[in-house]
Amino acid sequence: MKKIIIAIDGYSGCGKSTTAKAVARALGYTYLDSGAMYRAVTLYFLQHFINPDVPKDVKRGLQSLDISFHNDNSNGIQQVYLNGINVEEEIRGMQVSSKVSEISKLGEVRKAMVEKQRKLGKKKGIVMDGRDIGTVVFPEAELKVFMTADTTIRAERRQKELLEKGEMLSLNEVKENLERRDAIDTKREVSPLLKASDAIEMDTSYLDFEEQVSTIIELAKERM
Ligand code: C5P
Protein backbone atom coordinates (compact mmCIF):
# COMPACT_ATOMS: atom_id res chain seq x y z
CA MET A 1 0.00 0.00 0.00
CA LYS A 2 1.35 3.39 -0.89
CA LYS A 3 1.58 6.19 1.64
CA ILE A 4 -0.60 9.19 0.94
CA ILE A 5 -1.15 12.76 2.13
CA ILE A 6 -4.49 13.56 3.75
CA ALA A 7 -5.37 17.25 3.85
CA ILE A 8 -8.17 18.35 6.16
CA ASP A 9 -9.17 21.99 5.80
CA GLY A 10 -12.11 24.01 6.98
CA TYR A 11 -13.52 26.67 9.26
CA SER A 12 -12.44 27.24 12.86
CA GLY A 13 -13.85 24.83 15.40
CA CYS A 14 -15.27 22.19 13.01
CA GLY A 15 -13.42 19.42 14.80
CA LYS A 16 -10.67 19.15 12.18
CA SER A 17 -7.87 18.41 14.62
CA THR A 18 -9.74 15.80 16.69
CA THR A 19 -10.77 14.06 13.48
CA ALA A 20 -7.32 14.33 11.89
CA LYS A 21 -5.67 12.92 15.04
CA ALA A 22 -8.02 9.92 15.13
CA VAL A 23 -7.51 9.23 11.41
CA ALA A 24 -3.73 9.44 11.80
CA ARG A 25 -3.77 7.09 14.80
CA ALA A 26 -5.91 4.52 12.96
CA LEU A 27 -3.66 4.55 9.89
CA GLY A 28 -0.36 4.76 11.78
CA TYR A 29 0.26 8.11 10.09
CA THR A 30 1.88 11.27 11.43
CA TYR A 31 -0.51 14.02 12.45
CA LEU A 32 0.43 17.64 11.93
CA ASP A 33 -1.57 20.54 13.28
CA SER A 34 -0.65 23.46 11.02
CA GLY A 35 -2.80 25.85 13.05
CA ALA A 36 -0.55 25.18 16.06
CA MET A 37 2.35 26.56 14.03
CA TYR A 38 0.53 29.83 13.31
CA ARG A 39 -0.51 29.96 16.96
CA ALA A 40 3.11 29.51 18.09
CA VAL A 41 4.26 32.33 15.78
CA THR A 42 1.50 34.54 17.22
CA LEU A 43 2.58 33.74 20.78
CA TYR A 44 6.17 34.63 19.93
CA PHE A 45 5.09 37.94 18.35
CA LEU A 46 3.01 38.78 21.43
CA GLN A 47 5.81 37.86 23.84
CA HIS A 48 8.33 39.97 21.92
CA PHE A 49 6.00 42.87 21.08
CA ILE A 50 6.55 42.38 17.36
CA ASN A 51 4.45 44.77 15.32
CA PRO A 52 2.93 42.84 12.38
CA ASP A 53 2.87 46.07 10.35
CA VAL A 54 6.67 46.41 10.39
CA PRO A 55 8.03 43.94 7.78
CA LYS A 56 11.61 43.94 9.03
CA ASP A 57 10.49 43.13 12.58
CA VAL A 58 8.30 40.31 11.25
CA LYS A 59 11.26 38.95 9.29
CA ARG A 60 13.58 39.14 12.28
CA GLY A 61 10.94 37.52 14.50
CA LEU A 62 10.55 34.62 12.07
CA GLN A 63 14.31 34.10 12.00
CA SER A 64 14.48 33.92 15.80
CA LEU A 65 11.81 31.34 16.38
CA ASP A 66 11.91 27.60 16.15
CA ILE A 67 8.76 25.49 16.21
CA SER A 68 8.89 21.76 16.83
CA PHE A 69 6.48 18.99 17.69
CA HIS A 70 7.16 16.31 20.31
CA ASN A 71 5.10 13.39 21.46
CA ASP A 72 4.36 13.31 25.16
CA ASN A 73 5.50 9.82 26.17
CA SER A 74 2.92 9.43 28.91
CA ASN A 75 -0.11 9.77 26.64
CA GLY A 76 1.28 9.95 23.09
CA ILE A 77 -0.29 13.37 22.60
CA GLN A 78 1.54 15.81 20.37
CA GLN A 79 2.89 18.88 22.10
CA VAL A 80 4.08 22.08 20.43
CA TYR A 81 7.40 23.60 21.42
CA LEU A 82 8.52 27.16 20.76
CA ASN A 83 12.28 27.65 21.08
CA GLY A 84 12.50 24.53 23.22
CA ILE A 85 9.60 25.40 25.55
CA ASN A 86 6.33 23.52 25.63
CA VAL A 87 3.65 26.08 24.68
CA GLU A 88 0.77 23.68 24.05
CA GLU A 89 -1.45 25.22 26.76
CA GLU A 90 -0.60 28.84 26.04
CA ILE A 91 -1.30 28.73 22.31
CA ARG A 92 -4.85 27.42 22.82
CA GLY A 93 -6.04 30.31 25.00
CA MET A 94 -8.10 33.31 23.92
CA GLN A 95 -5.15 35.72 23.96
CA VAL A 96 -3.55 33.87 21.04
CA SER A 97 -6.90 32.97 19.41
CA SER A 98 -7.87 36.63 19.17
CA LYS A 99 -4.65 37.59 17.36
CA VAL A 100 -3.73 34.52 15.31
CA SER A 101 -5.66 35.37 12.14
CA GLU A 102 -4.05 38.83 11.93
CA ILE A 103 -0.62 37.23 12.05
CA SER A 104 -1.56 34.37 9.71
CA LYS A 105 -2.46 36.72 6.90
CA LEU A 106 1.11 38.01 6.59
CA GLY A 107 2.81 36.73 3.43
CA GLU A 108 6.21 36.29 5.13
CA VAL A 109 4.67 34.23 7.92
CA ARG A 110 2.79 32.01 5.48
CA LYS A 111 5.87 31.50 3.32
CA ALA A 112 7.92 30.31 6.30
CA MET A 113 5.19 28.01 7.64
CA VAL A 114 4.31 26.47 4.26
CA GLU A 115 7.97 25.67 3.67
CA LYS A 116 8.19 23.92 7.03
CA GLN A 117 4.92 22.04 6.46
CA ARG A 118 6.08 20.78 3.06
CA LYS A 119 9.31 19.51 4.60
CA LEU A 120 7.40 17.71 7.34
CA GLY A 121 5.08 16.07 4.82
CA LYS A 122 7.71 15.15 2.26
CA LYS A 123 7.75 11.47 3.17
CA LYS A 124 3.92 11.27 2.98
CA GLY A 125 2.02 9.10 5.46
CA ILE A 126 0.72 12.31 7.03
CA VAL A 127 -2.59 13.85 8.02
CA MET A 128 -2.36 17.64 8.12
CA ASP A 129 -5.16 19.96 9.12
CA GLY A 130 -5.47 23.68 8.48
CA ARG A 131 -6.91 26.21 6.07
CA ASP A 132 -4.76 25.95 2.93
CA ILE A 133 -3.37 22.42 3.06
CA GLY A 134 -5.31 21.10 0.06
CA THR A 135 -5.04 24.33 -1.93
CA VAL A 136 -1.48 25.58 -1.30
CA VAL A 137 0.66 23.33 0.91
CA PHE A 138 -0.15 20.01 -0.79
CA PRO A 139 -2.28 20.65 -3.88
CA GLU A 140 -1.26 17.13 -4.95
CA ALA A 141 -2.64 15.50 -1.76
CA GLU A 142 -4.36 12.20 -2.58
CA LEU A 143 -7.26 12.93 -0.22
CA LYS A 144 -8.68 16.35 0.57
CA VAL A 145 -11.51 16.89 3.01
CA PHE A 146 -13.19 20.23 3.59
CA MET A 147 -15.04 20.39 6.90
CA THR A 148 -17.90 22.74 7.73
CA ALA A 149 -20.37 22.95 10.63
CA ASP A 150 -23.09 25.21 11.93
CA THR A 151 -21.55 28.23 13.73
CA THR A 152 -23.50 27.82 16.97
CA ILE A 153 -22.56 24.15 17.17
CA ARG A 154 -18.91 25.04 16.56
CA ALA A 155 -19.02 27.73 19.26
CA GLU A 156 -20.59 25.33 21.77
CA ARG A 157 -17.86 22.76 21.15
CA ARG A 158 -15.12 25.37 21.44
CA GLN A 159 -16.64 26.88 24.59
CA LYS A 160 -16.60 23.44 26.22
CA GLU A 161 -12.95 22.91 25.25
CA LEU A 162 -11.97 26.31 26.71
CA LEU A 163 -13.89 25.58 29.91
CA GLU A 164 -12.01 22.30 30.31
CA LYS A 165 -8.82 24.37 30.17
CA GLY A 166 -10.15 26.78 32.80
CA GLU A 167 -11.20 29.67 30.52
CA MET A 168 -14.80 30.68 31.04
CA LEU A 169 -16.28 32.60 28.11
CA SER A 170 -19.83 33.32 27.01
CA LEU A 171 -21.13 31.54 23.93
CA ASN A 172 -21.30 34.90 22.17
CA GLU A 173 -17.66 35.72 22.86
CA VAL A 174 -16.57 32.35 21.47
CA LYS A 175 -18.89 32.70 18.48
CA GLU A 176 -17.58 36.17 17.71
CA ASN A 177 -13.97 34.93 17.78
CA LEU A 178 -14.80 32.05 15.41
CA GLU A 179 -16.68 34.31 13.01
CA ARG A 180 -13.96 36.96 13.08
CA ARG A 181 -11.26 34.39 12.36
CA ASP A 182 -13.32 32.83 9.56
CA ALA A 183 -13.85 36.26 8.00
CA ILE A 184 -10.15 37.18 8.10
CA ASP A 185 -9.07 33.70 6.96
CA THR A 186 -11.54 33.71 4.05
CA LYS A 187 -10.87 37.25 2.87
CA ARG A 188 -7.08 37.45 3.15
CA GLU A 189 -5.05 37.99 -0.01
CA VAL A 190 -2.47 35.25 0.51
CA SER A 191 -3.84 31.70 0.42
CA PRO A 192 -7.33 32.38 1.72
CA LEU A 193 -9.43 29.64 3.24
CA LEU A 194 -11.36 28.01 0.43
CA LYS A 195 -12.46 24.57 -0.61
CA ALA A 196 -10.15 22.96 -3.15
CA SER A 197 -12.10 21.98 -6.27
CA ASP A 198 -11.25 18.31 -5.68
CA ALA A 199 -11.99 18.31 -1.93
CA ILE A 200 -14.78 16.26 -0.42
CA GLU A 201 -17.06 18.42 1.69
CA MET A 202 -18.16 17.13 5.07
CA ASP A 203 -20.69 18.95 7.25
CA THR A 204 -19.95 17.77 10.78
CA SER A 205 -22.85 19.57 12.53
CA TYR A 206 -24.82 16.41 13.19
CA LEU A 207 -22.33 13.73 12.23
CA ASP A 208 -21.36 11.11 14.73
CA PHE A 209 -17.63 11.42 15.44
CA GLU A 210 -16.84 7.73 14.85
CA GLU A 211 -18.74 7.85 11.56
CA GLN A 212 -16.81 10.95 10.52
CA VAL A 213 -13.48 9.25 11.21
CA SER A 214 -14.40 5.96 9.54
CA THR A 215 -15.65 7.74 6.41
CA ILE A 216 -12.27 9.48 6.01
CA ILE A 217 -10.38 6.23 6.67
CA GLU A 218 -12.40 4.46 3.97
CA LEU A 219 -11.76 7.28 1.49
CA ALA A 220 -8.06 7.15 2.36
CA LYS A 221 -7.86 3.37 1.84
CA GLU A 222 -9.41 3.71 -1.61
CA ARG A 223 -6.50 5.99 -2.54
CA MET A 224 -3.59 3.95 -1.11
O1 C5P B 1 -6.64 25.42 13.31
P2 C5P B 1 -6.63 26.53 14.33
O3 C5P B 1 -7.98 27.05 14.65
O4 C5P B 1 -5.81 26.22 15.52
O5 C5P B 1 -5.87 27.70 13.56
C6 C5P B 1 -5.66 28.97 14.15
C7 C5P B 1 -5.56 30.03 13.08
O8 C5P B 1 -4.36 29.84 12.32
C9 C5P B 1 -6.67 30.09 12.05
O10 C5P B 1 -7.78 30.85 12.48
C11 C5P B 1 -5.98 30.73 10.86
O12 C5P B 1 -5.97 32.13 10.99
C13 C5P B 1 -4.56 30.23 10.98
N14 C5P B 1 -4.25 29.11 10.09
C15 C5P B 1 -3.93 29.40 8.77
N16 C5P B 1 -3.54 28.40 7.93
C17 C5P B 1 -3.49 27.14 8.36
C18 C5P B 1 -3.83 26.81 9.68
C19 C5P B 1 -4.23 27.82 10.52
O20 C5P B 1 -3.98 30.56 8.37
N21 C5P B 1 -3.08 26.19 7.53
Contact between 185 and 12 under an 8 Å Cβ cutoff? The reply is yes
Best mutation site among 34, 41, 137 for ligand 1 pocket (most ligand atoms within 8 Å of CB): 34
Nearest CA to ligand 1 atom 3: 12
The structure's pTM equals 0.94
pLDDT for res 165:
87
- Report the nearest atom of ligand 1 relative to the CA of 42: 8
Helix or strand (DSSP H, E) at 72: none
> Which residues in the chain come in under a pLDDT of 70?
72-76
- For ligand 1, whether the C-beta of 11 sits within 6 Å is no
- For ligand 1, whether the C-beta of 134 sits within 6 Å is no
Residue list for the binding site for ATP: 10-18
Task: Count CB neighbours of 134 within 10 A.
Answer: 29
The ipTM is 0.99
Q: How far does residue 165's CA lie from ligand 1's centre (Å)?
A: 20
pLDDT for res 36:
97
**How many angstroms separate the first and last alpha carbons of the chain?**
5
pLDDT for res 78:
83
Q: How far does residue 21's CA lie from ligand 1's centre (Å)?
A: 16
Residues 145-157 have pLDDT tens digits of 999 999 999 999 9
pLDDT for res 74:
60
* Coil, strand or helix at 153: helix
